[in-house]
Amino acid sequence: MRIYKTRIDDTLNPSPLLLKNRDTTPHHSDTTPPLTNNFGSGSPLQHQPVIEMIRGGKSFVSSPPAFSNDAKKLLVCTGNTVSVFSTDTGLQVADLEGHTALVTSVIVVPSSTPANALLCYCWTTSLDGTIRYWDFSVSELIKTVDIQLPVYSMVIPSFLDRQSENSETQPDTYAYISVEDTKTEQNKQRNLRGQIRKCNLSKSRLVRGAILSETKKPEKITISSNGKYFGVHEKRKIRVWEVPTKDGKNISHRNIKLTHTKNLSCIAFHPTDRIVAAGDATGRILVWRGFGDKTFADKDLENEKVSKDEDDKPGVRGEGDADSCTTWHWHSSEVKVLYFSSDGAYLFSGGKEGVLVGWQLDTGKKKFLPRIGTPLLSFTSSPDSSLSSISCADNRIHILKMPRMEILKSISGIKLPTPVPDMFRGSCNDFVFDRTAGLVAVRTENYCIQFYSLFDDREISEVQVCERNHQPSDDVTMILNLVALSFDGSVMCTVETRMAEEGIGGFVTLKFWDRRSQNNDYNLSTIIYEPHRDAGVSAVAFHPTRCMAASASYGGDFKVWVSNHDIQPNDKLIQRTRWACHAVGSYQKKPMTAAAFSNDGSVLAVAAETVVTLWDPEKNVLVAVIGSTREPIGNLSFIGDSGFLASASHGANPQLSVWDMSKLSVSWSYKLHVEAIASSDKDSHFAVLVLLPEPSNAEVATSHNADGAILLFNAGEPVAVASWFVTKAKGGGLAFIQSRSLDDNMDENDNPGSGLLAYVNGDHEYAIFNPHGLETQERKVRHTDSVPSLEVTGQSGYASIYGKLPEFKLNAIEASAETVTPSERPWETIFSGPSHSLPPLTKLCSAFLESLLEKRSGDGLVK
Amino acid sequence: MAINDKQTFTIKPKLKPTTKKSSSTPEQKYWKSFKSKEPQPLISSITSLAFSPTSPHDFAATHSATVTIFSSQTLQPKSTISAFKDTATSGCFRSDGLLLAAGSLSGLIQIFDVKKRAPLRKLSGHTRPVHFVTYPRVDKLHLFSGGDDSVVKYWEVWSGTHRSFTGHKDYVRCGDGSPVNDHMFVSGSYDHTVKFWDVRESSNSSALVLSVDHGAPVEDVVYLPSGGLVASAGGNSVKIWDVIGGGKLLHSMECHNKTVTKLCVAKIGDDGRNGDFGNQFRIMSVSLDGYLKVFDYSRLKVTSSIRYPKSLMSVAFSPDGSTRVVGSSNGDLYAGKRKTSENAESVKSEWGKYVGFGAIDEPEKRVLRPSYFRYFHRGQSEKPSKGDYIITRPKKVKLAEHDKLLKKFHHKEALVAALTAKNPENVVAVMEELVSRKKLLKCVSNLGTDELGLLLSFLQKYSTMPRYANVLIVLAKKVVENRVEDISGSEELKGYVRNLKRSVAEEIRIQESLQEIQGMISPLLKIAGRR
């Protein structure tokens, strides 16, 4: 386990927050403004509180991943780090940490010969303005090139050009990078912020004057797999450059432009021929054959080429330098992915439909990998093209077995937030927490609920709530509104809404799910159509101990549901639970906007717009009505056993109020825009996630571009106990979760009852930390302890002949007798494996003959 | 991280609410397993049914002026005895199954040879109709009878002499002999009493052992197999009495809604499939409300209830537990036989006897060669043995026509396919799917005249059904609005719209009357709630 010091970065900023009057004006005049009392009022950086923290929930699909040379590992850009996954198990193996901003591309240094296929070097670019060189087998940073401009994309042609590798003197490695020009002022006026520049990676500097083009925004560079051409697409045109064969100081880069009538979305180059394919926003795929015949052709051949008939260029628009242009149309919306197979026979395309289409390039025949169920974002192939990966918009990477297009493994990150139409903004919760198991249940786009382990940073399971196929359309007609989990996580309640088409159809469905024993799949137990007539459901709350739930609706009533187990004695004791309505209540026909059970379950609080009504859930008797706020209450939460109730209302006059249940009156309140409330079950602490009003007048906040804060309160006192700045707080959530018993060092020096605070931001990145701890140390998620074997042992190709490469260690000689296990009968395995990954036949022949004569083993090399 | 193989989801209709007792207990299954074929129409009300105590347990039904004897194997009539001047009642087999006694409304009791159908004895003594004739369980020489002259008689059959017991004050309609003692019997009468008699006592007063009051005219009374308990039926209730305990009322079963007409004791056959309730006894009761109820008197619980379309008059259950017969007031005889694997087998073996012409030589197993067609099919019908791990072929999702069309985004065709398939649930489900694709109104506007007619007739049929009304009423309105030109252009479509209008008007009438009822009830409820 490694322990890192926390940096000030964008997810969670552990500096104390000084709340002054200007920001959070308490609207009760008798309360004092909250002041952080345990950190004093010193400079934030001096008193940096250090808290142990687990983070995760990174996006895997922000940039295309890259395969290692042996196709056993997949390098995925995850936020500021690069995560290395095993393609065999789909689990994370290692992390490359060093970049301080989003990593935008990763390029693995290819191996020219199969012998050094185990080389594990890669280049990464990031928005922090650096390009770094890593050895990812040991997660070690080797070199950093600081170019001080945010890099959006990079290609390195010389890696792909096989001929240049043979020369003895290693030439400088040049890269073409797409950067955002943040320095020159004049570009801002011209509104051209993107530049494509050339960079000498060997000498760690930009090639002076080599600005190939300027665009409005930084574009993604695509390179052909033979390293001869690279290009970008910009609005309705493609620009293609030829990579100069000799890299000198003043080499002009010849380029051509190809135009189209629609906005282009992606391009791809044929690996051998001069063919470029581009997808446009309407779903068409354009294939230009023989581009750049005039411009890129060698000088001596030029005369012959020109003599060819100039007029006959079917399909090519304007002055485009290409022989012909053909159009394929299958996709109904924007093409996001284009990729030529390594032999150039197939073109793969994908888009919003979630279908991977393989086009036979000569005939245009299609084959499909359907039902991926989510828009595709990128496609990459391993060097030996036996595996490939598709990145999907739902933060999932599928690893495909290639010629068959069959999904082998899926690497799933936490699902990304789904867009919610405005009319449902109030009545949607993006995620709920399973406090005991440390899980978060995330609503996904395909009517699923993903259970994601916060401690392991890994998907646990997925529940299909509504059986409906993925429909590639823009407008949401059906939405999973609400998810609620009972306290032990054994029962789940979901609410889904189908929208009407001009008044026809459209209804709300309430579903109860129960979990059988300890396997994590939920089974549907009860469906209730239109639980509150045609009104939408605003909140669902579970009773802490009994099988009871309450659903509040905008239609002015709430219902209490109970489950009755009926055990059928005849066959195998099938236990079925049914949920039935136990009671209906309403208060002055007002819309019910929130509901919560008290911790002992004796009181049900339902917010009827601006007042809170308290009910006895058993007898369905109105016990009391308390207070009124200015805006409808959107969130209710009982605070532990303390006898306080916290409420939050949104709108023009947002308000956080804490009600004293013993006096039935407001205890204290602030004018704060509260996004989420979390209360611990044991003591009287609760935390709120607050959106900061305006960053304009901030002295502290803007430096970290934080837009929210987490405040930890003790229910009785209106002064915050602790506070943290956070980013992307909009749509975020908070919860107290129980720490794992395994993490003994996590809470050995603080009170055991309080548990950890989990914060999930609007992009579903999360952090777990101990709100009461004084020391912050970031801790990595321990992937290795739960993963028994990450690498699959199996020898083919090189290893079958020579055995494993010996490890050059001091003790290797003593241990060598055991370390190497060459196959007993190498003539059987010598020719196994894909033909392109085998050593050349001349080498194989001699090795084969030798293997018949004597056993060779790898330790011979050491001796 | 599991590989999730996504499957296609088909369009499913909304689920229907299920009742709580959706699944039946094993005993209910047992009683339901008596498969009734078409009811046998007999001439008039079946006054009694009786099984022969000897195998093959044929049974006799008295109806009109005849007694029909049925075979319990085929459930078909075997022979008919019609030597009655008036309606025959209360058929009863002797313990050896050779003789049959029956009463009649003329007051005459006759004894027949079952085989020859000839009346052997005619016992006249009752002056009024006889509704109760029965043999003792073992004794072959005596008979018990009771008549509307409120006299109970004990007959010596060979001599034709009888002894009368008086004590009842109204018609005697039923009775039963004790299963443990052939000298004891019980009789039930319309004077609400059940009286227990011992024929060994000489005087009339001492012969009356016990008398209990049922509280209603007693329609039937039976001894339970132990001989210590008696069940009596009268009014809507069946009561169980403890005879040994001095006529104590043990239980009163009140689950019929009309007069209980007949009782019988049924023994559940123990053929190894009945689990823990094999070889137990139940009371079966039939009533004018058309229900046959099975009552477990050890647990004091009604275990099964079967509804018949007519009021029931009589019931009998074969001693081997394989046949159940129920007779109704209009002469329909519901005979049900329980299917058992043994009798299926025995039928088969018998069948084989008739068909087989001696042993046919098994064809020699020839060695399969590639020149035979079967060679290429060898091993395909191999059954897996117990330890084998079976790799099942991935189940192919069967897609309905509309599902296939929806997958291809042929929306209008999908709607038409669902409409022609005529399953209203599926049609509404397809409509809901189209709504969520925002394509329903476009589909409606694209429909041709014939297809529009299809849709309109569907709307006319189902738009007032509460399950579908939510979607269909609004849709009907939109259809009429959008396609007004096409509808006015075609006579056929106009007819559909006229029908639609009529059904809507009908529905409005119903709703109005329901509202009236609600208006009447709600003040009552309010008053009731105030208490």
Mean pLDDT, residues A218-230: 84
Report the C-alpha gap between B137 and A451 in whole angstroms.
72
Report the C-alpha gap between B282 and B148 in whole angstroms.
30
From chain A, the residues in CB contact with B436 under 8 A are: 468, 477-478, 498-499, 501, 505
From chain A, the residues in CB contact with B12 under 8 A are: 467
pLDDT of residue B352: 44
Question: DSSP letters along A699-714, please?
Answer: SSGGGGT--EEEEEEE
Report the C-alpha gap between A87 and A73 in whole angstroms.
5
pLDDT of residue B414: 93
Distance (Å) from the C-alpha of residue A161 to the closest C-alpha of chain B? 36
- Give the position of tokens 């994601």: A452
Report the C-alpha gap between A248 and A646 in whole angstroms.
69
Q: For A610, what's the count of Cα atoms within 13 Å in the CB-facing half-sphere?
A: 9
pLDDT of residue A733: 85
CB contact under 8 A, A478 and B436: yes
pLDDT of residue A541: 92
Domains of chain A by range and CATH?
A: 629-694+705-740+754-775 (2.130.10.10)
CB contact under 8 A, B1 and A458: yes
Of A4-18, A807-821, B295-309, the least confident: A4-18
Question: Could you tell me the two tokens for B303?
Answer: 């275990």
Report the C-alpha gap between B115 and B97 in whole angstroms.
10
Distance (Å) from the C-alpha of residue B3 to the closest C-alpha of chain A? 6
Sorted by sequence, the CB contacts under 8 Å of residue A153 that are 6+ apart come out as A104, A105, A125, A177, A178, A218, A219, A220, A221
Report the C-alpha gap between B414 and A131 in whole angstroms.
55
Of A118-132, A566-580, B412-426, the least confident: A566-580
Are B237 and B261 within 8 A, CB to CB? no
Report the C-alpha gap between A173 and A169 in whole angstroms.
12
Sorted by sequence, the CB contacts under 8 Å of residue B255 that are 6+ apart come out as B293, B302, B305
Which residue in chain B has the smallest CA separation from A471? Answer: B437
Is the per-residue pLDDT at A33 higher than 60? no
Distance (Å) from the C-alpha of residue A421 to the closest C-alpha of chain B? 15
Alpha-carbon torsion, ordered A85, A86, A87, A89, to 10 deg: -120
Which residue in chain A has the smallest CA separation from B432? Answer: A505
Is the per-residue pLDDT at A233 higher than 90? no
CB contact under 8 A, A477 and B431: no
Sorted by sequence, the CB contacts under 8 Å of residue B128 that are 6+ apart come out as B107, B147, B148, B149, B171
Distance (Å) from the C-alpha of residue A236 to the closest C-alpha of chain B? 30
Report the C-alpha gap between B7 and A862 in whole angstroms.
54
CB contact under 8 A, B478 and A504: yes
Are A62 and A386 within 8 A, CB to CB? no
Distance (Å) from the C-alpha of residue A534 to the closest C-alpha of chain B? 10
Q: Mean pLDDT score of chain A, rounded to an integer?
A: 75
Which residue in chain B has the smallest CA separation from A413? Answer: B1
CB contact under 8 A, B470 and A507: yes
CB contact under 8 A, A529 and B5: no
Which residue in chain A has the smallest CA separation from B428? Answer: A505
Report the C-alpha gap between B526 and B529 in whole angstroms.
5
CB contact under 8 A, A506 and B25: no
Q: How do residues A611-659 score in pLDDT, each as one tens digit?
A: 999 999 888 889 999 878 888 888 888 888 788 889 988 888 888 889 9
Give the end-to-end CA distance of chain A in Å, rounded to a whole number: 36
- Give the position of tokens 């019980």: B186
pLDDT of residue B417: 93
Mean pLDDT, residues A504-517: 85
Percent of chain A with pLDDT over 70: 72
What is the 8-class DSSP label of residue A784? G
Report the C-alpha gap between B287 and B328 in whole angstroms.
9
pLDDT of residue B275: 57
Question: Residues A588-593: contacts with CB within 8 Å, 24+ apart?
Answer: A589/A556, A590/A556, A591/A538, A591/A553, A591/A554, A591/A555, A591/A556, A591/A632, A592/A538, A592/A539, A592/A552, A592/A553, A592/A554, A592/A556, A592/A557, A592/A558, A593/A426, A593/A538, A593/A539, A593/A552, A593/A554, A593/A632, A593/A633, A593/A634
Report the C-alpha gap between B463 and B468 in whole angstroms.
6
CB contact under 8 A, A504 and B438: no
Question: DSSP letters along B315-376, please?
Answer: EEE-TTSSEEEEEETTSEEEEEEE--HHHHHHHHHHHHHHH--SPPPPPP-PPP-TTSSGGG
From chain A, the residues in CB contact with B476 under 8 A are: none
Mean pLDDT, residues A580-604: 89
From chain B, the residues in CB contact with A578 under 8 A are: 20
From chain A, the residues in CB contact with B28 under 8 A are: none
From chain B, the residues in CB contact with A527 under 8 A are: 15
Q: What ipTM does this complex have?
A: 0.77
What is the 8-class DSSP label of residue A157? G
Mean pLDDT, residues A456-466: 85
From chain B, the residues in CB contact with A499 under 8 A are: 436
Question: DSSP letters along A111-134, please?
Answer: PSSGGGTT--EEEEEETTSEEEEE
Chain A interface, Cβ < 8 Å to B:
90-91, 371-373, 407-412, 458-459, 462, 467-469, 471, 473, 475, 477-478, 498-507, 527, 529, 566, 568, 570, 578
- Give the position of tokens 């009798």: B343
pLDDT of residue A110: 81
pLDDT of residue A511: 92
CB contact under 8 A, A473 and B437: yes
**Number of inter-chain CB pairs under 8 A, A vs B:** 78
Q: Which has more confidence, A128 or A301?
A: A128
Is the per-residue pLDDT at A45 higher than 70? no
Distance (Å) from the C-alpha of residue A740 to the closest C-alpha of chain B? 22
CB contact under 8 A, B436 and A372: no
Q: Which residues of A108-130 are buried (b: 16+ CB within 10 A; e: fewer)?
A: bbbbeebeebbbbbbbbbbbbbb
Chain B interface, Cβ < 8 Å to A:
1-9, 12, 14-15, 20, 23, 25-26, 407, 431-438, 440-441, 470-471, 474-475, 478
Alpha-carbon torsion, ordered B30, B33, B36, B37, to 10 deg: -170
Helix (H, G, I), strand (E, B) or coil at A175: strand
CB contact under 8 A, A407 and B431: no
Q: How do residues A299-339 score in pLDDT, each as one tens digit?
A: 444 444 444 445 567 777 766 777 788 899 988 888 999 99
Phi-psi region of A71 (alpha: psi -120 to 50; beta: other; left: phi over 0): left
Report the C-alpha gap between A172 and A643 in whole angstroms.
71
Distance (Å) from the C-alpha of residue B433 to the closest C-alpha of chain A? 9
Report the C-alpha gap between B29 and A38 in whole angstroms.
73
pLDDT tens, position by position, for chain B (531 residues)? 334 455 678 888 888 776 665 566 777 777 777 777 777 787 788 888 888 888 888 888 888 888 888 888 888 888 888 888 888 888 888 888 888 888 888 888 888 888 887 888 888 888 888 888 988 888 888 888 888 888 888 888 888 888 888 888 889 888 888 888 888 889 998 988 998 888 888 777 778 888 898 888 999 999 988 888 899 998 888 999 888 888 888 888 888 888 899 988 888 766 555 555 667 888 889 998 888 888 888 888 888 888 888 888 888 888 888 888 888 888 888 888 877 655 544 444 444 445 444 445 556 667 778 888 888 888 778 888 888 888 888 777 788 899 999 888 899 999 999 999 988 999 999 998 898 888 889 999 998 888 999 999 999 999 888 888 888 989 999 999 988 888 888 898 999 999 999 999 999 999 999 999 999 999 999 888 776
pLDDT of residue A682: 74
For A529, the closest of B2, B14, B435 (CB atoms) is: B14
Report the C-alpha gap between A843 and A834 in whole angstroms.
16
Helix (H, G, I), strand (E, B) or coil at A855: coil
pLDDT of residue A748: 41
Report the C-alpha gap between A285 and A331 in whole angstroms.
9
Q: How many residues does chain A have?
A: 863
From chain B, the residues in CB contact with A90 under 8 A are: 1
What pairing do the DSSP bridges indicate for beta strands A537-542 and A548-553? antiparallel
* Structural Rg of chain B based on CA atoms: 33
Are A635 and A658 within 8 A, CB to CB? no
Report the C-alpha gap between B232 and B280 in whole angstroms.
20
Report the C-alpha gap between A455 and A435 in whole angstroms.
12
Question: Could you tell me the two tokens for B33?
Answer: 């397993």
Report the C-alpha gap between A380 and A378 in whole angstroms.
7
- Best of A353, A464, A469 to disrupt the B interface (most B CBs within 10 Å) is A469
Report the C-alpha gap between A639 and A642 in whole angstroms.
6
Which residue in chain B has the smallest CA separation from A577? Answer: B20
Amino acid at A47: H
CB contact under 8 A, A467 and B1: no
pLDDT of residue B418: 92
Of A513-527, A544-558, A688-702, A711-725, the least confident: A688-702
Q: Categorize the per-residue pLDDT at A476 as very low, low, confident or very high, splitting at 50, 70 and 90.
A: confident
Backbone angles phi, psi at A768, to 5 degrees: -120, 130
- Best of B5, B6, B433, B473 to disrupt the A interface (most A CBs within 10 Å) is B6
From chain A, the residues in CB contact with B441 under 8 A are: 501-502, 504
Question: Could you tell me the two tokens for A695?
Answer: 């960053």
Report the C-alpha gap between A493 and A513 in whole angstroms.
6
Which residue in chain B has the smallest CA separation from A88? Answer: B1
pLDDT of residue A46: 31
Domains of chain B by range and CATH?
A: 26-337 (2.130.10.10), 401-529 (no CATH)
Q: Categorize the per-residue pLDDT at A161 as very low, low, confident or very high, splitting at 50, 70 and 90.
A: low
CB contact under 8 A, B7 and A371: yes
Are A659 and A665 within 8 A, CB to CB? yes
DSSP E strands, B377-463: none
pLDDT of residue B419: 92
From chain A, the residues in CB contact with B411 under 8 A are: none
**Residues forming beta bridges with residue B100, ordered by sequence position:** B93, B112
CB contact under 8 A, B437 and A471: yes
Nearest Cα to Cα of residue A593 among A549, A536, A656: A536
Percent of chain A with pLDDT over 90: 7
